[in-house]
Amino acid sequence: MNAALSIKDISVKIDGAEILRGASFCANSGEFIAVIGPNGAGKSTLLRAAAGLLCVDAGMVKLFGNDITALSPMERARRLSYLPQSRPVYWAMPVRAIVALGRFAYGGGDARAANSAVVESAMTEAGVQHLADRSAATLSGGELARVHFARALAGKTPVLIADEPTAALDPAHQLSVMALLQKKAANGRLVIAALHDLDLAARYATKILVIDKGAIVGDGAPEDVMTEELLRNVFSVRGKFDVKSGAARLSLSPLSQPQSSD
């Protein structure tokens, strides 16, 4: 059986700088993978490459066994949705029309799509149904982020890749987004999300992928990967990970003194 998404030894150079160096991982349906790493580690580049949005200099990305570059944009979009880190809306379109763009790959009447049950349920799941007829120009940053999230859900794709889905959200919405992604994975989708909040990553993800300086340095269950040593080496924080009463908790504190990178 093919993995939902398999990344084999990919390298990406942008303007001569090597952003990814031979990254590999395999991801199966039902997993919720959190990609963590410090700023500039290559998280976004890894996700964009995984989503088939940039040309890799070496290696291959396979989506359900197919080379992702061999799929047409529409074929790819019916299997994989991607939520970019920056979430602009350039025109003051109503929220419903923006969420309906999630159905783009299904062609035909976009006007019909705007009224479809899929779009309604995506808006409900992301908690933006009360904004349905509002113009995007009138929304706050956090509301806009949830509208984009609803758009990504509306594709109902088996693979969902989200670059910092919790950015710009208040704590309650961060938790509800994470819970929703967890539910999507439990229902058989593959969810991959880049996250900065290590605690959220540890609590909700089934698997953690740690990336540092363009290379994957950790891949496994949260409690196995997020060791004190890794947190110190990669994130330069003192971290204690423990599992109490079923809920994984991670408490972080700054290192007392500057750490050499040995």
Instruction: Kindly indicate which of the ranges 8-16, 61-69, 106-114, 214-222 contains the residues binding other proteins, using the contact rule CB under 8 A.
Output: 106-114
**Sole binder of other proteins in the list 49, 50, 51, 128 (CB under 8 A):** 51
- 77 forms part of the interface with other proteins (CB under 8 A): yes
Residues 198-257 that bind other proteins (CB under 8 A): none
Q: How far is the CB of 243 from other proteins (least distance, A)?
A: 35
DSSP percent split of the chain into helix, strand, coil, nearest 5: 40, 30, 30
- 94 forms part of the interface with other proteins (CB under 8 A): yes
Q: How far is the CB of 141 from other proteins (least distance, A)?
A: 5
The residues, any chain, with a CB within 8 Å of residue 60's CB and separated by 6 or more, are 7, 8, 9, 10, 67
Question: Is residue 234 within a helix (H) or strand (E), and if so which, with residue range?
Answer: helix 228-235
- 38 forms part of the interface with other proteins (CB under 8 A): no
Q: Computed from CA positions of residues 249, 150, 154, 195, in that sequence, does the dihedral angle turn out positive or negative?
A: negative
- Indicate the pairing of strand 66-67 with strand 17-27: unpaired
Decide whether 38 or 94 has the Cβ nearer to other proteins.
94
- 173 forms part of the interface with other proteins (CB under 8 A): no
Distances (CA, A) of 155 to 16, 90, 243: 35, 21, 35
Backbone angles phi, psi at 59, to 5 degrees: 90, -175
User: What is the contact surface with other proteins in residues (CB under 8 A)?
Assistant: 48, 51, 53, 72-74, 76-78, 80-84, 86-94, 97-98, 101-102, 104-105, 109-111, 114-115, 135-137, 141, 144-145, 148, 151, 155, 168
